[in-house]
Structure 1
Amino acid sequence: MSEQQVFYRPEHFPMLEIRQARATSVAYHRHSHEEFSIGVVDSGNTDYFIDGQTRRIGPGAVVLMNPDQVHSCNPLHLQSWSYRMLYLQADWLTALQAEVLERSPDSGFQALSQSLLCGDSHYQQYHQLCSLLTSPDSRLGAEVNLTDYFAELIRADQRCEAPDRLKCASHLQRAYEFIADECVREICLDDVAAVAGLSRYRLVHAFRQHYGITPHALQITRRISHARQLLKTGNSIAAVAADTGFTDQSHFHRHFKRQVAVTPRQYQLSAGYR
């Protein structure tokens, strides 16, 4: 089977995107997404890094990543694997979580505590959800299934609170938000340290220890996330590279493929822009 990467953006569900990868051996650097991410391993094995730990998982495993949670999934050496990922906008899930837990959505999204689900029932439920979402003639069924699926995840989560390792001290949170908000601008470490109220050394050390990546890696991750949105609206690759803070197209191309596993052109073609 030849390698294949396909992105689905269901017409009636603009808050989500589905990625299907077949027979790929591409490895990812540690990164995060603004969206809530949930996926399954269809075949092969992968090393799944999350919460500072690496676990080896195989077919049928369901992985969950909260928004901004650092992670990576990489196939074993010289092996390929197939998987599907669903990226869901955090605002939509926050509103649903508020309904399920009968609380105000103003309190924000509370991270789910589970990052891995095993068992055939979990795999089959995910498979059914993706099948309905990618079917052009089952809008109501897909909407009901989507709501039920994520409501059940929220209900089943024992704590539905961010564990201590996901809660950061206020100074690190300020640094994170500053980098995220200013990701396309050229900022320096002194800027971030001043916002956080920490020395440069302490900031870098604590940031890496808490989030699993450096401040610069977060900046690149957020730039790529912003670039994906611009590419989907038909902007030229050169313009996107410039608008997201990359020095040139080759620099942009290298980082984009490292995190998304396809080139900017391939990603744009998948959105229907030629």
Structure 2
Amino acid sequence: MSKDFREIYFDKQLKLEGYYFEGVSQSFPNHFHDYYVIGFVEKGKRNLTCNTLEYEVNPGDFLLFNPFDSHGCTQVEALDLTYRAINVSIERMREIITTITGKEELVKFTKPILKLPKIDELFLLLHQLILENKDDLNREELLYFFIDALIAHAADIKIEEIAFSEASKENLLLAKSYLEKNFASTVSLEELSRRCHLNKYTLIRYFTKYFGVTPYQYLQTIRIKEAKELLSNGKELLSISLKVGFSDQSHFTRVFKSLIGITPKQYQGIFKQ
């Protein structure tokens, strides 16, 4: 039997809860919440009852509960549950949906269990960053991308394509310029949105379409470009990581290796030969 481990975190920036269960055998009696629950099952099997209907839950399933959906579950075959979820209040979900659709409306999930393989990784990365409280800009981008994808596959509303004008392109260039000038600072989606006169969802969606990367990815690329110049001049790794906008050296090393394929130390070594 796995060790029962449970972790919960409230993300003040995203204004939602993230929680993680590992090795849980507990049954949950029929109950409901006054918020949305978006969960993902990594391991284990469950018999689920939701709004009087019965379902079988397996690894790789998303669980989607609307506010006041009654639900409960029991373990199957002594297979302990490993499960990740986010809880989103009605008010917060309305804010997110309004930003995405431009309309003050609420989403209703049409089924409590779905396989959504195209957005598994998106959710898992978002969830991990919530628990670690890391990469503010990346977290918020991922939240909008994930909810957008979830609406497309599992909800009762449709997202209409937003008209993209020449003025919008100019606004995107303002965002790009701001990132280039402020790469060494903490950049928030709120500030970037205000600077380029686009709402958050429109900004990240069309920035990605126009430049081929998200604002966060563009910011990281600029930071690594600047870091390479400093590395070639023999600067210390810790000093470089802080100078180009990373909170610590280990984060700098991870991002550098993910983009360049080698560590900063290895890259710096080629200039010492």
d(CA) in 1 for partners of 2:11 and 2:18? 8
Structure with bigger RCO (C-alpha 8 Å, 6+ apart): 1
Structure 1 residue 111: Cα displacement? 1.7
CA RMSD of aligned residues (A): 2.1
Structure 1 residue 11: Cα displacement? 4.0
Q: Secondary structure at the match of 1:125?
A: helix
* TM-score in terms of structure 1 length: 0.52
Corresponding residue number in structure 1 for 2:100: 100
Corresponding residue number in structure 1 for 2:264: none
Structure 1 residue 98: Cα displacement? 2.8
Q: Secondary structure at the match of 1:134?
A: helix
> Which runs of structure 2 are paired with 1:184-195 in the superposition (5 Å)?
none
> Which runs of structure 2 are paired with 1:36-47 in the superposition (5 Å)?
36-47=36-47
> Which runs of structure 2 are paired with 1:116-131 in the superposition (5 Å)?
116-131=113-128
d(CA) in 1 for partners of 2:126 and 2:95? 20
Could you list the runs of 5+ residues in structure 1 that have no partner in the other structure?
Answer: 162-274
Structure 1 residue 75: Cα displacement? 1.4
Residue 142 of structure 1 pairs with residue 143 of structure 2: no
> Which runs of structure 2 are paired with 1:1-274 in the superposition (5 Å)?
1-13=2-14, 15-76=15-76, 78-103=78-103, 105=104, 108-157=105-154, 159-160=156-157
Quickly say closer, same or farther: Cα 1:127–1:110, change in 2 above 3 A: closer
Quickly say closer, same or farther: Cα 1:115–1:11, change in 2 above 3 A: same
CA contact (8 A) 2:19 2:131 kept: no
Q: Secondary structure at the match of 2:8?
A: strand
Could you list the runs of 5+ residues in structure 2 that have no partner in the other structure?
Answer: 159-273
Quickly say closer, same or farther: Cα 1:18–1:137, change in 2 above 3 A: closer
Letter in 2 for 1:139: D
Name the % identity: 17
Q: Secondary structure at the match of 1:98?
A: helix
Corresponding residue number in structure 1 for 2:260: none
Q: Secondary structure at the match of 2:132?
A: coil
Letter in 2 for 1:84: R
d(CA) in 2 for partners of 1:147 and 1:119? 17
CA contact (8 A) 1:33 1:67 kept: yes
Quickly say closer, same or farther: Cα 1:155–1:49, change in 2 above 3 A: same
Structure 1 residue 28: Cα displacement? 0.8
CA contact (8 A) 1:40 1:83 kept: yes
Structure 1 residue 110: Cα displacement? 4.0
CA contact (8 A) 1:112 1:160 kept: no
CA contact (8 A) 1:31 1:71 kept: yes
d(CA) in 2 for partners of 1:8 and 1:35? 16
Q: Secondary structure at the match of 1:54?
A: strand
Quickly say closer, same or farther: Cα 1:44–1:157, change in 2 above 3 A: closer
CA contact (8 A) 2:122 2:142 kept: no
Letter in 1 for 2:5: Q
Q: Deviations over 1:167-224 (max 9, x none)?
A: xxxxxxxxxxxxxxxxxxxxxxxxxxxxxxxxxxxxxxxxxxxxxxxxxxxxxxxxxx
Corresponding residue number in structure 2 for 1:243: none
Q: Number of matched residues?
A: 157
Quickly say closer, same or farther: Cα 1:82–1:89, change in 2 above 3 A: same
Letter in 2 for 1:149: F
CA contact (8 A) 2:107 2:156 kept: no
Corresponding residue number in structure 2 for 1:201: none
d(CA) in 2 for partners of 1:145 and 1:132? 10
